Amino acid sequence: MINQSRLYDHERIELRYNTLKRLRKAKDVRGLTQCLRQDLVKNIGGIASHDLYDQCHFGTKRLIEKFHNEVIKSIQFIYYYKGSRFSA
């Protein structure tokens, strides 16, 4: 799988993907919420760059797709969380 591209910061996305996944599996709702807040208000790692989507760069966006899927899983986990409540 090709995760590297000069068009976005693949190392940062890989790190954030792994962090989200680890926090979700650890059921760390507070950490997961903070991590999502940091990432979803900006163009993390350049993944919204016009140049990235201007042409077909075969395989280079698989990591971005994995990251987006983990974001969705994380949001769903927080939404359905049955543990003790916390104040964000």
Per-residue pLDDT of the chain (88 residues; tens, 9 = 90+): 455 667 778 888 899 999 999 999 999 999 999 888 887 777 788 887 777 766 665 666 788 889 999 999 999 999 898 876 665 5
Q: What is the pLDDT of residues 15-39, one digit of tens each?
A: 999 999 999 999 999 999 988 888 7
Using alpha carbons, select from 29, 2, 41 the residue that is nearest to residue 88. 29
Q: Is 80 helix (H, G, I), strand (E, B) or coil?
A: helix
Residues in the chain: 88
- If DSSP states are collapsed to H, E and C, what string results for 31-70? HHHHHHHHHHCCCHHHCCCHHHHHCCCCCCCHHHHHHHHH
* Predicted pLDDT of residue 17: 92
**Residue 76 to residue 72: CA distance in whole angstroms:** 6
Compute how many other C-beta atoms are within 10 angstroms of the C-beta atom of residue 4.
13
Token pair belonging to 36? 């999502």
